[in-house]
Every structure is written in C-alpha cells, then in structure tokens.
Amino acid sequence: MLLMLALTVFGVVAAVGWTGSVRVRHVFEFLDRQQTDTLVGQFQHEFNQRGADTAEAVSRMAASDALRRMAFDLANGGDSAPYLTVAVPLAQEYRLDYLEIVGHDGSIISSLQWTARFGYKEPAIAAAGKPAFLKQEDVPDGSSQIGLFAVRAVNGSDAPLFVVGGRQLDAGFLRDFPVPAGTQLLIYRNVSGPFDAHNFAGATQGVDTAEHFRALVDDARTNGRNAEGVVYVTPRQEDSLSVTAIPLTGAGGDVLAVLVVANSRRSMVEVQRHIRDIAYGIAGLGIIFAVGASLWIAARISRPIEELARAAQQVAAGDWETRVDIRTLDEVGDLARSFNNMTRQLAEQRERLVQTERVAAWRELARRLAHELKNPLTPLQITVENMVKAKKLPKKEFDEVFKESAATLTAEIENLKTIVGRFSDFSRLPKPQSVEMDAREAVRRVVKLYGPALEEKHIELGTAISSEPLPILGDSELLHRALSNLVLNAMDAMPEGGTLTVSATRARNMVRISVADTGAGLTPEECERLFTPYYTTKQHGTGLGLAIVQSVIADHNGTIGVENVESGGARFAIGLPLVEKAEA
C-alpha cells in the first residue's frame, strides 16, 4: 500500500514537473525563435541599408566629373598609367573599404586593395547597375575578406569605365548593431574550405565560443539552409546556447558568410531547476503523506483482509472451524461476518456430504459384493440340490454324483475366497515401503515374468527401456503388482493376438513408464471412468484392479493416465518422480 501510494504521488508530481518543464522549454524556445527572427529581420534591414549606402556611394562616384573626364580621356586613346593610384584618394573621399576602376574590357586600371592587380580582369562588372551583393575579395597578404559590393558604369564616352566599390563585412559592421542581453550575433566569413574559428567576427573582440559552432556553421554553409541546435559551451547546462546559423549568399548563389545568432539558455535552465526543486519538495511531502495514509489504510483495511486471507488458507488446508474476529461495522466487518457464516455452512454441508457419501459407498459396496457373490452361489445351490436328489440313486451312481458335486463345491468356494480377498486387498492396501531402486528393474521383472504367457497368446513383445539408470523411491512389490495388472489388462484386450509395448524412459525430472496394446481401444467415457472403483468393462471382474493401480501410483507421488493410440489400442502412462544420486 505504501509503495502504491508513494508511486502514485511520485508519478503525479513527476508528470506535473515534467509537463511544466517541457512547457517552460517550449515557451523559451518560442521566445528565442521570436527574438532570433527579430534580430535576423533587423540584420537584414541593416544589411540592405548598408548595401544601399554602398551602392549610393559608388553611384555618386561614377557620376563625378573626375571619373567622367577619366573615362573620356581613356576612350580617346589616353594612357591609363597616370591613373594607377587614383583609387586610393577616391576610396577615402567616398569612405569605401574596397575600390577598383575597371576599363570597358574588364581590365583593372586602379585598385585600392591590391595595386599590383593592374591589368587583371574583373568579372564583377557583369553586375553593373544591380543592387549591392556579397563578394569575396582577395588581399595581398594571401587572405580573403567578405564585403558588400556595388558596380556602376561611368558614362562619359562610348567606352565606359566601371567602378567596383564595397565595404567590409566584419566586426565593425556588428558593433553598432543593437543586441539584447544574453544574445551573441556573429558572422562567419566563408573564405576557406575547412572550418576556421579565426573567420568569425563578432561585436566584441575575440569569439571564445567559436569552435563550438563548427557543426551548425558547416551544416549551413554546406547545405545552404538554416541550421538550428543547442550548443553546450561548458558541462553546465546554464551555459548552453540556442544557436541558429543563417547562410548569406553572393550574386552567384554561393554561401559567402554565415550569420550566427546565439541565445543564452540560462534563464530557461534556472526556471526548469526551480520547477524541479519545487517538484522534489512536493514529492517529499507526498511520500510523507503516503506513509501516514498507508499506515491508516493498513490498520483499517489491509490487516483485516490479510487475516481473511490467512483464514481462507486454513480452510483450504482442511480446518473448517476457522473463524475471524469482527472488529468493525463497515464493509470489511460485513465481509468477515460473511466469511464466518460461509465456513459454518461449509462445515455443516461437509458433515452432511460425508454422511451421504458414506451411505452411498456402503450401498455401492453392498451392491457390488452381492453381485459378485451371487454368481458362485447359484452353482452352489444347484450342486447341493443335485446331491439331495442323488441320495435316492443307487450307491454307485450316488458316489459319482457326490464326487463331481464335491469338486464343484470346492471350486466355487475357492472363487468366493478370491472375490472376498480382492475386496479385502482394496480395503487394506499397505503403504509403500519406499527405498531407492531402479525403475528399469521393475519393468524388466514384469516383462520376464509374462514373456511365456505372451508367446502362448501369440502376442509380440516390444520394449523401449532407457540405457541410463532411472532411480526412484518406491516399493518394488507394489510397483510389480501395479505393472502386472496393466500387462494382464493389455493381454485381455488382445484375445486374438497383437503387440504389447512396454517402455521406461527419462523425461526431465520424471520417469515415464508406458504399457500399450493394439486392442480395440477405449471410448472417451471409459477413459474418464476406468480408474473409478467397481467400474469395469469386463463381463467378469470386480472393477478394483485399475483402482488399486492408481492408488499404488498415487502413494508413490506419481500420476497415471490412459489414452487411445492413433494406430489402434490403448496406452497407460505412468509418471514417477526421478531421484538424483546427490539427493538420494
């Protein structure tokens, strides 16, 4: 009862605590998604604004008189060498981080970020006139950077110049961005193949947690779609982060950068711990309540029911006078009163049943005994009457009749003795004197004894006796009588001959002995009643032989059964407990 109540309270509290914890997690996850979406929207707005500013600066530069004159001069055969360093002052004037002046054929005339690229081709001019876009830019130190670029044409002649200008996408881009407390906003510049934590840029100097974002960043830059997950910076759950990685693509659709939004899960973890602590406290109080409730229920219900159970076991063991005390007036008390009434009625009915069965048994015994004695009494009466009639005959004839009648009287008296002896044996069958023996010896003894008789009746004998010892605790004489009875019954079932099969084998912890014949078999009713005392299928018999066999086997703690064989005939199967040598 205590366990049931404790488990119930604990289960309810655990379910409530788990539900609350899950609900809190869902709420915080929903808030994190909302906050992330808001930040991403703000970032996208700022990103577009920066792109528009960059495009506007490049457009103003392309429309300036200086670049118009430069375009006109170059279109009319002017030399481009004097313009090699013009990108530097122009970039400072229009506050651009990257700037290249490109001829109408795509050759670089002047470059801010890499002066030595003079004469190289710049494929970005294909995006002239389009909105600002992300672009990877190589620098002289061998590294690469990411920037927002715009391309505009300088229309001063038939062969226009192109201005490719941009601003770097780095920590400075994020420094003035409004970020809520507990949230990190980072940009990963996808400028190298393998993941490199140095490619991260954040609003603050250094990104200590960059390495923990490797899996999400690789997923976003490889698959080109958002990647979400929980990142554990330290073994403590309150230091974990809910991270979303958003890929940023360039003009050609390639992922050039990954925006990482990391929200702290500290508040959610602390609320979950608070709920768990409350749940533990309630569970402890609940268990204390369960202890008190179980003690009260045990005193009111469990103990009286246990007493009833013990009383029921005593009744089942044969103590019909068992009674239980009635201490309460509730339903348990009513149950106790009903139990006492039941045992009282059972005792009375048992007494009446015993008397009825005793009378029925004596009547059946008298009927069977009268039936069995009637058969030899009739010839006795006829013989005596013949002797009385023969008294009038001459002496010689009288002597012959007297001699024949005396022989008949002697035979019938012996028959009466046999009948009375069988009834006497059944009534006082001795208890077995159990000793350790080999069941195979009892079987072989019976087979050897009835071997000649089986040959005379043209009955073939088949045996299947185990080669291993079959030790049992038994009385060899009683088992011999029981097996002999089964063999004789099998011989009677095959008056025209047949096959008798006797086997003795081991089956787990039992010895199986069977006697099978090929006679006419038995009906289902005969199989059910065959071991009933005084029941017989023979014209001449007391019906006690198989009853005695069953009694002997039962005294050996064994079982016996009968069944029809599919090929014809019946099989009697005996099961006796096997005794191991160590136990013996």
DSSP letters, 357-425, are HHHHHHHHHHHHHHHHHHHHHHHHHHHHHHHHHHTTS-HHHHHHHHHHHHHHHHHHHHHHHHHHHHHHH
Mean pLDDT of 85-112: 90
349-354-355-360 Cα dihedral, nearest 10 degrees: 120
Residues 443 and 547 in one domain: yes
Res 261: pLDDT: 84
Residue 513 lies in a domain: yes
On whether both 134 and 232 belong to a single domain, the answer is no
Residue 554 domain-assigned (yes or no): yes
Residues 482 and 405 placed together within one structural domain of the fold: no
Q: Range with the lowest mean pLDDT among 12-26, 237-251, 322-336, 360-374?
A: 360-374
Round to whole Å and give the CA distance between 304 and 93.
100
**Closest to 559 in 3D by CA, of 571, 569, 545, 549:** 549
456 lies in the same domain as 331: no
Q: Is residue 41 part of a domain?
A: no
pLDDT digits (tens, 9 = 90+) for 132-170: 888 888 888 878 888 889 999 988 767 788 999 998 887
Q: Are 416 and 406 part of one and the same domain?
A: yes
Query: 155: which DSSP letter?
Result: -
Q: What pTM does this model have?
A: 0.46
Query: Which CATH number goes with the domain that contains 325?
Result: 1.10.287
> Does residue 440 share a domain with residue 538?
yes
Q: Tell which of 397, 428, 459 closes a domain.
A: 428
Residue 542 confidence (pLDDT): 59
Domain C-terminal end among 169, 188, 216: 169
Average pLDDT over residues 57-70: 89
Same domain, 533 and 440: yes
| Structure-model confidence comparison of residues 402 and 51, the more confident one | 51
Task: Evaluate whether residue 302 is within a structural domain.
Answer: no
Task: Tell me: pLDDT of 89 over 80.
Answer: yes
Asked if residues 164 and 99 have their Cβ atoms less than 8 Å apart, the reply is yes
* Pair 463, 573 in one domain: yes
Final residue of a structural domain among 152, 169, 186: 169
Q: Are residues 553 and 443 in the same domain?
A: yes
- Condensed to tens digits (0 to 9), the pLDDT of residues 225-237 reads 888 888 888 888 7
The pLDDT assigned to 57 comes to 92
Question: What number is the average pLDDT over the span 449-462?
Answer: 87
pLDDT tens for residues 14-29? 777 677 677 776 777 7
Average pLDDT value for residue range 79-89:
88
445 shares a domain with 392? no
Q: Which residue has the higher pLDDT, 539 or 45?
A: 45
Rg (CA), the chain: 56
Give the three-state DSSP class for 449. Answer: helix
Per-residue model confidence (pLDDT) at position 368: 62
Which amino acid is it at 360?
A: A
* Domain total in the chain: 4
In a domain, 369, yes or no: yes
What band does 268 get if pLDDT is binned at 50, 70 and 90? confident
Do β-strands 435-438 and 471-474 pair in parallel, antiparallel, or remain unpaired? antiparallel
Task: For residue 59, give the DSSP letter.
Answer: H
Asked, for residue 354, whether it belongs to a domain, the answer is yes
Partnered with residue 246 across adjacent β-strands are: 259
Cα–Cα–Cα angle for 203, 206, 209, rounded to 5 degrees: 95
pLDDT in tens, 280-330: 777 777 777 777 777 776 666 667 777 777 777 777 777 767 777 766 666
Confidence of residue 584 (pLDDT cuts 50, 70, 90): very low
The stretch 78-87 carries a mean pLDDT of 87
Asked if residue 298 belongs to a domain, the reply is: no
Q: Is 498 in the same domain as 421?
A: no
- Where residue 205 falls among pLDDT bands split at 50, 70, 90? very low
Contacts of 318-322 with C-beta under 8 Å, sequence gap 24+, read: 320/346, 320/347, 320/350, 321/347
Which amino acid is present at 419?
A: I
Q: Of the ranges 250-254, 281-285, 402-406, 462-466, which is most confident?
A: 462-466
pLDDT in tens, 470-502: 899 888 888 888 898 888 888 888 888 889 999
Is 484 within the bounds of a domain? yes
Look over the chain and give the mean of its residue pLDDT values, rounded to a whole number. Answer: 79
| Residue count of the chain | 584
421, 344: one domain: yes
The model's confidence at residue 372, banded by pLDDT at 50, 70 and 90, is low
249 vs 234: CA distance, rounded Å: 32
Residue 204: pLDDT band (50, 70, 90) is low
Tell me the mean pLDDT in the region 247-268: 83
With contact defined as beta carbons under 8 Å apart, do 491 and 459 qualify?
yes
Mean pLDDT of 534-556: 73
Rounded Cα distance between 239 and 516, Å, is 82
| pLDDT at residue 206 in the model | 47
> Which CATH number is 138's domain given?
3.30.450
For residue 489, what pLDDT is reported?
Answer: 86
As a whole number, mean pLDDT of residues 417-429 equals 63
CATH number for 220: 3.30.450.20
Q: Which domain holds residue 385?
A: 320-428
